[in-house]
Structure 1
Amino acid sequence: MESHLSPRQHPFLFTSISALVVLTAMLFNSTSLSPVVLISNLLNVSTPYVRNARTGVSYRGKSTNGVEHFQNIFYAEDTSGFNRFAPPVLYTPPPGTIVDATAAGAWCPQGLGGPPLPFTSLITNVSENCLSLRISRSSGTNPSGKLPVLVFLHGGGDALGSASDILYTPDGLVGKYVESPVIDEYVLMVNQVFGYATNEALRAARQGNVGLRDQRAAFDWIHDNIDTFGGDPGNVAAVGQSVGAMAIGLHLVSYSGTQGVPFQKAIMMSGASGTNFNIMSNLVADNTATVAKSVGCTQDPDSQATLDCLRRVPLKILMDTSVKLARQLRPPFGELAFYPSYDNDYIVGRPSVLLRKGAFVKGISIMGSWVTNDGAWYAQPTISDDASVLASFQTFVLGLSQTSLQRLLSLYPVSNFDYLVRPHEGATPDYYRAAQINRDLWFTCPVIDFTWQYTRFGGDSNIRLYDMNQTKFGPIFQYMGVPQWRVSHLSDVPYLMNEDVAAGGDNSPNQQDLSALLSGSVVAFAYSGDPTVSRGRTFKDWPVAYPDQSVQALSKEYPQEVSLYVVGGSQGSGPASVSSGTGSQVKSDREKALAWENVIERCGFINSILEEIGV
């Protein structure tokens, strides 16, 4: 959409003789290294070691540019064989083990080949033995530093992606510009049929949604072990983008909120539980049955025999079959052909209903967000009629009535989008119309509904929102021939990571300043739940999302006022508010632009038909 909103290093280093002695003693006491190996490792000052005194396990990492990386740290066993389609089996190496954590692990099963986008990684190494973590921290971090922990769940539509993707390089977030040191963790997410297969046998055994259970196991490992790396297990922020954010929302409503979550803050970027359409439908079960039949498992698709058969199918055959089906159903990448669904255990009902019952984990400070043109990918640029606009989302949103479809079209009149057209881009007003509807259906309205209901029903009033209105991907989109994408989905990831974009992105100084702004805000939020305060200094005006906490305001099904922080754009970064029926109350250029988006009325309608959407 048109941009119409138009290092600090931790001061603990092994530099003195006494510190070297302490390190030497630690290595002799905690490992089985021979003196020869020990001496060679002491000479290699770029090789950081961490030892968990409780488990007797040591981790050997790698230091680059002032950031220490520990990769491929397994928190659960290989998911192949009898562990396929089963809850994770937690894994701790035997005491005395020295884990080589210097190189990236395998990606979870997904389609091989070239990168989906030029600034992402080539997919070459996949395995079912992929339940591992990537941990990054500033070099010389004090083992007793109790640093806040950011745990990142990547996006990819439950179809592709990895913590090892170049897009998620953490160095800038951990050690370049942010004013406070953090420990950054990445969770590798299980994809395709391997993470979300379902049938009656799995539901009866309470073994559905193993992808979510794998993530939960990763958070549990972090809670039990992160202090070894200098992190604070009592100050963990879950950070998710797209389906990663969706997963965080589902964790918060898991078990109807009765079993808590092993994190204290949540940062949900372009997604919430309402992004997970059709959660009560048979779509995932039907897709599982289709895959089973295609690989020769012809028993009753709901039977234990079918599961046993699928567990014997070689990885490549099962992976290729499920990827092929997913891409046929949801071209081009196969997003959300397999996804979290009702299992009467981890997910006991529609999340929107659970939210309105107060059946969720409370006391979690939440930062939510969307991107100005989050829906840019879902429509063809040349569409020019209502039917094509509707078709842009009907592959995913299956249950909307004709009345609801017509109401959607009326809320987004094509004349509103004429001014966005740039002849050289070759996109029509209907394209931008479809992109805006998709943005609101997928991202903006789910975030607003989740955070509003969370506030209304006693979750936490400390909710912060932002709208990302700038991108580093512009030159790349021009090269790809899709300039109409503009500030698209994924645009805020490089700013969060505080990193330059590969493949010719816009890495100019003003973009670096914006990176420092967003990454610094996220780190401040991770420390204190307040994105405006870093180490005791207030440096921006970031409002609480729902400032009116009166009984009258909270009695309403949908918010009448939303406040947020706009990041980037021609009007500059800063706070803005939008209210129902504003007009004369509009004050700033940012607020005029927000009023044009009409999120109060549009999301009020979208969030009134959640049963049709299936969330």
Structure 2
Amino acid sequence: MTNFKINLLFGVVAVAIHHHLLERANIPILSASIFPPTVTDFTRNIRYIGSRTPGVEHFQNVFYAEEPTGQRRFAPPVPVSPPKGSIIDASKPGAWCPQGVGDILPFTSQVNNISENCLSLRIARPSGVQRDAKLPVAVWIHGGGHALGSASDILYTPDGLVRAAAAAGKPLIYVGINYRLGIFGFATSKAMIETKQTNAGLRDQRVALQWVQDHIEVFGGDPDRVTAIGQSVGASDIGLHLTSFNGSRNVPFQQAMMMSGAPGVNFNSDPVFVANNTVAIARQVGCAKNEDGQSIETLECLRAVPADLLINVTVNEARKARPPFGEGYFYPTIDNDYLNGRPSQLMRTGKFVKNIPIVASWVTNDGAWYASPQTSTDEDVLGSFGLWLHGFSRSTKEKLLQLYPVEDFNHMVRQNYDGGISPQYYRAAQMSRDIWFTCPVLDFSWQYAQTGGLNASRIWLYEHNATRFTPVFEAMGVPMWRVAHLSDIPYVFNNPHLEGGADNSLDQLALSETVSKAIVGFVHEGRPGGEGAGMQKWSSAYPTMRDGQRSSESASRLSIQVIGGPLGLSEVAIDRDGDVGVMTAAQQALAWEKLFGRCDFINSPQMRDEAGV
């Protein structure tokens, strides 16, 4: 037995004796908080030793799969099975999955501890939860373009969410997932497709979610009340799980919340591009043994390459091709197994898992950092997404420019604040937002209801229009980002102590608590909002949908919750043919986005075919 296990065992025994003596002397057990929280899985005879923060118990670095090294590198994850009698140190964060090290953004963690042995969970629960509590579970799938991120990032600190839920009388269990990224998670080749060793990152997520189904009960959770919550590619991945195996297998969650993302949100799902990138890396590390580099020999060679070398070469190539972080160099692709077709086509043919209530959303300026601040011409605008979506025809590009006339964005220029920013920048940012986030979200949610996914009354939409990052963006020299991508995360997590000089003012903390409690309402009751959250229960996204509309390619009416900004918290209903002159201020603000006409084209067969989504 290791020294760690011996010390833990003595510690646990000491706690038990201490409690027993106090109880016999009729003395209240006030000092329990100085001892680490302990969870025992009696069926498997496993004990987890965690840590505490005020009001929250944490269990970190809880492995759900074996170390994916050697022959397990790139392969589907193997569920972990600790030996009986194991005492697991769950008191500290584990390693992040392989990615570039160093700083990312001022309000995120510095990456300095990476390892292939990273397939772990971060679990948090309110203090004092009993084993039989049967609390609903929120499972977080982080974003990061399949290139970076971890459940341990300080941006995803779960304390505020857990405490807000408990304070509202709706306690929950939180689980964050680490999954393989980059080449380790999404490499592909002919040999890998033939041997079904593809989309490892997606398979990691699924095994992690299955671990929750199988084991969360010992932490006081209810495996039948699991809500998967993802942001950006994490949200997109949730959609891909729903379309996995053509919808023929149930998913290990009962509800979904998709923040700034939907299936195929960013990239072509055809495997050719990613396969070529895999071959390029194989050549650099000396593993391309034949002309095409897609053989089983190449795969076996890549498995033997030292991790440090493979990480360094891959990160350098990815960041050179997709600056600054290498997002979209490796990502989920069609493999004729986990993913059997383009996501938008699978949705239109009903090949997805049904009956999953969905909250979906986007952020007002989600596309802000995808456009260069130097954008000043039509060509610059089109170039803002050219690295990722390079298959657009001339007619598609011309149509996009027509749908987003530059004069629509003149009013956004703030010369005394943003500097010499052209209206073309804001035009590019809005176009990028709609192509990558807003329109895919609208398409996915509408098609899910259209093709029998579930009753339309169980789909909700919101637009997030507040940020706590304004002072950070000012310090970074990018005030034009405004309510940028990631802005919604601190509100959902109700994070009271954001890093990097972010806005932790009382007004922002109050809004964060309100938003967080609205999401807790969804996790607890299957519908977001609620009286206790400072807002009414939300109305469904498609309030007028009837059976007779099921041939429609898009909605004629939307109900959207708008969160934050000058209009505060409001429910806004807009019609395709609404008269701007008789609209409320909130309706006019949404009408300015021209969601119906713009998304009609972005979600059209022509553009979907050219984007490959």
What TM-score, normalized to structure 2?
0.93
Pair 1:129 & 2:117 matched = yes
Pair 1:242 & 2:232 matched = yes
Could you tell me how far apart the structure 2 residues matched to 1:39 and 1:541 are? 48
Aligned residue among 604, 610, 613 for 2:611: 613
Q: Which residue of 2 aligns with 1:603?
A: 599
Change (3 A) 1:31 1:587: farther
Pair 1:118 & 2:106 matched = yes
Change (3 A) 1:409 1:473: same
Q: Tell me, what secondary structure is at the counterpart of 1:581?
A: coil
Counterparts of residues 151-550 of structure 1 (less than 5 Å): 151-176=139-164, 179=168, 180-300=170-290, 301-424=293-416, 425-426=418-419, 427-460=421-454, 461=456, 462-500=458-496, 501-533=498-530, 539-550=535-546
Amino acid at match of 2:529: T
Could you tell me how far apart the structure 1 residues matched to 2:573 and 2:435 are? 21
Q: Which residue of 1 aligns with 2:51?
A: 62
Change (3 A) 1:585 1:255: farther
Could you tell me how far apart the structure 2 residues matched to 1:530 and 1:586 are? 30
Q: Which moved more, 1:508-517 or 1:287-296?
A: 508-517
State the 1:532 CA deviation: 2.7
Could you tell me how far apart the structure 1 residues matched to 2:425 and 2:474 are? 17
Could you tell me how far apart the structure 2 residues matched to 1:35 and 1:268 are? 44
Q: Could you report, residue by residue, the CA deviation over 1:350-383 in whole angstroms, capped at 9, with x for unpaired residues? A: 0100000011000000000000000000112222
Q: How many pairs are equivalent?
A: 584
Q: Tell me, what secondary structure is at the counterpart of 1:484?
A: helix
Q: Which residue of 2 aligns with 1:12?
A: none
State the 1:539 CA deviation: 3.9
The 8 Å contact of residues 524 and 534 in structure 1, kept in 2 or not, is answered as no
Q: Tell me, what secondary structure is at the counterpart of 1:58?
A: strand
The 8 Å contact of residues 530 and 537 in structure 2, kept in 1 or not, is answered as no
Could you tell me how far apart the structure 2 residues matched to 1:534 and 1:241 are? 26
The 8 Å contact of residues 527 and 537 in structure 2, kept in 1 or not, is answered as no
Amino acid at match of 1:347: L
State the 1:33 CA deviation: 6.5
Change (3 A) 1:406 1:253: same
What's the % identity of the aligned pairs?
A: 50
State the 1:36 CA deviation: 6.5
Q: Could you report, residue by residue, the CA deviation over 1:28-81 in whole angstroms, capped at 9, with x for unpaired residues? A: xx9996567521575763410001122111100001111000000000011111
Aligned residue among 102, 111, 118 for 2:91: 102
Could you tell me how far apart the structure 1 residues matched to 2:517 and 2:11 are? 43
Amino acid at match of 1:209: N
Could you tell me how far apart the structure 1 residues matched to 2:9 and 2:472 are? 51
Q: Which moved more, 1:497-506 or 1:466-475?
A: 497-506
Change (3 A) 1:402 1:69: same
Change (3 A) 1:384 1:228: same
Could you tell me how far apart the structure 2 residues matched to 1:316 and 1:586 are? 62
The 8 Å contact of residues 274 and 450 in structure 1, kept in 2 or not, is answered as no
The 8 Å contact of residues 266 and 388 in structure 2, kept in 1 or not, is answered as no
What TM-score, normalized to structure 1?
0.93
The 8 Å contact of residues 530 and 538 in structure 2, kept in 1 or not, is answered as no
Could you tell me how far apart the structure 1 residues matched to 2:136 and 2:570 are? 26
The 8 Å contact of residues 541 and 575 in structure 1, kept in 2 or not, is answered as no
Q: Which residue of 2 aligns with 1:23?
A: none
Q: Could you report, residue by residue, the CA deviation over 1:180-233 in whole angstroms, capped at 9, with x for unpaired residues? A: 111010001211100000001111111210110010000000000001001110
Pair 1:82 & 2:71 matched = yes
Q: Which moved more, 1:379-388 or 1:98-107?
A: 379-388
Amino acid at match of 1:355: M
Could you tell me how far apart the structure 2 residues matched to 1:34 and 1:577 are? 59
Amino acid at match of 2:135: L
Deviant stretches of 4+, over 6 Å: 30-33
Q: Could you report, residue by residue, the CA deviation over 1:366-401 in whole angstroms, capped at 9, with x for unpaired residues? A: 000000000000112222110000000011112111
Q: Tell me, what secondary structure is at the counterpart of 1:184?
A: strand
The 8 Å contact of residues 40 and 47 in structure 2, kept in 1 or not, is answered as yes
State the 1:137 CA deviation: 0.3
Pair 1:578 & 2:567 matched = no
Where do 5+ consecutive residues of structure 1 fail to align? 1-29
Change (3 A) 1:586 1:279: farther
Q: Tell me, what secondary structure is at the counterpart of 2:171?
A: coil
Q: Could you report, residue by residue, the CA deviation over 1:586-615 in whole angstroms, capped at 9, with x for unpaired residues? A: 532111000000001100100002111111
Q: Which residue of 1 aligns with 2:23?
A: none
The 8 Å contact of residues 514 and 534 in structure 2, kept in 1 or not, is answered as no
Q: Tell me, what secondary structure is at the counterpart of 2:216?
A: helix
Could you tell me how far apart the structure 2 residues matched to 1:211 and 1:87 are? 8
Could you tell me how far apart the structure 2 residues matched to 1:519 and 1:531 are? 10
Change (3 A) 1:37 1:148: closer
Q: Which residue of 2 aligns with 1:147?
A: 135
Amino acid at match of 2:612: G
The 8 Å contact of residues 472 and 502 in structure 2, kept in 1 or not, is answered as yes
Q: Tell me, what secondary structure is at the counterpart of 2:264?
A: helix
State the 1:277 CA deviation: 1.5
Q: Tell me, what secondary structure is at the counterpart of 2:129?
A: coil
Change (3 A) 1:62 1:408: same
Q: Which moved more, 1:577-586 or 1:75-84?
A: 577-586
Q: Could you report, residue by residue, the CA deviation over 1:112-150 in whole angstroms, capped at 9, with x for unpaired residues? A: 112x11000111000000000000000001211111100
Amino acid at match of 2:433: R
Q: Which residue of 1 aligns with 2:13?
A: 38
Q: Tell me, what secondary structure is at the counterpart of 1:273?
A: coil
Could you tell me how far apart the structure 1 residues matched to 2:564 and 2:393 are? 37
State the 1:502 CA deviation: 1.0
State the 1:549 CA deviation: 2.2
Change (3 A) 1:472 1:74: same
RMSD in angstroms over aligned alpha carbons? 1.7
Could you tell me how far apart the structure 1 residues matched to 2:550 and 2:8 are? 61
Amino acid at match of 2:406: V
Counterparts of residues 556-567 of structure 1 (less than 5 Å): 556-567=552-563
State the 1:585 CA deviation: 7.5
Q: Tell me, what secondary structure is at the counterpart of 1:223?
A: helix
Structure number with the bigger relative contact order (C-alpha 8 A, sep ≥ 6) is 1
State the 1:558 CA deviation: 1.1
Q: Tell me, what secondary structure is at the counterpart of 1:238?
A: strand
Change (3 A) 1:439 1:36: closer
Q: Could you report, residue by residue, the CA deviation over 1:460-497 in whole angstroms, capped at 9, with x for unpaired residues? A: 22101110001000011011100000000000000000
Aligned residue among 56, 62, 76 for 1:73: 62
Where do 5+ consecutive residues of structure 2 fail to align? 19-30
Q: Tell me, what secondary structure is at the counterpart of 2:14?
A: helix
